[in-house]
């Protein structure tokens, strides 16, 4: 679940946990999401920290608020998460992989072969 020893702040971990719940379809469009107080109790953290994680998701149009009712999963939430992770996460991982391959003098063809081998399982 959450890792208090991680370099990643807890509020970011909360946001990523909710994103993962959406990607796994345990939360789908228009489902009510845990409140900051429920998250605080579940993970034994400060409610403000949980609220900060929820706010990030509101700002990214992954969640939306219904006044007096709470927060809910946005219709386009899953697509937004996939797009963001492809754009940021995969690009960062590929850049790191290519940089390491260059440090190790791995030819492009060999690197591509390694990627294809991993993809095939």
Of 60, 75, 90, which closes a domain? 75
pLDDT tens digits, 89-116: 888 999 999 999 999 999 999 999 999 9
Instruction: For residue 93, tell me if it sits in a domain.
Output: yes
Instruction: For residue 5, tell me if it sits in a domain.
Output: no
Per this entry, what is the length of the chain?
121
Query: Per-10-residue mean pLDDT for the chain, 121 residues long?
Result: 90 97 98 97 96 97 96 98 91 93 95 93 84
Domain with 113, as residue range(s), is 78-120
Q: Given 3-state DSSP classes, what are the helix, strand and coil percentages for the chain, each rounded to the nearest 5?
A: 60, 5, 30
Are 36 and 58 spatial neighbours (Cβ–Cβ below 8 Å)?
Answer: no
Same domain, 66 and 20: yes
Same domain, 45 and 62: yes
Of 75, 90, 106, which closes a domain? 75
Are 11 and 58 spatial neighbours (Cβ–Cβ below 8 Å)?
Answer: no
Same domain, 68 and 83: no
pLDDT at position 90 = 87
Are 39 and 53 spatial neighbours (Cβ–Cβ below 8 Å)?
Answer: yes
Is residue 47 classed exposed, middle or buried when 0-12, 13-18 and 19+ CB atoms within 10 A define those classes?
middle
């Amino acid at each position: 679940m959450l890792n208090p020893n991680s370099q990643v702040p807890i509020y970011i971990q909360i946001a990523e946990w909710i994103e993962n719940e959406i990607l796994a379809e345990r939360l789908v469009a228009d489902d009510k999401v845990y409140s900051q107080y429920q998250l605080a109790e579940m993970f034994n953290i400060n409610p403000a920290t949980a609220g900060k994680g929820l706010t990030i998701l509101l700002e990214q149009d992954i969640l939306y608020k219904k006044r007096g009712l709470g927060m809910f999963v946005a219709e386009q939430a899953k697509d937004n998460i996939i797009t963001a992770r492809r754009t940021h996460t995969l690009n960062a991982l590929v850049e790191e992989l290519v940089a390491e391959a260059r440090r190790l003098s791995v030819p492009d063809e060999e690197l591509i072969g390694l990627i294809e081998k991993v993809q095939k399982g």
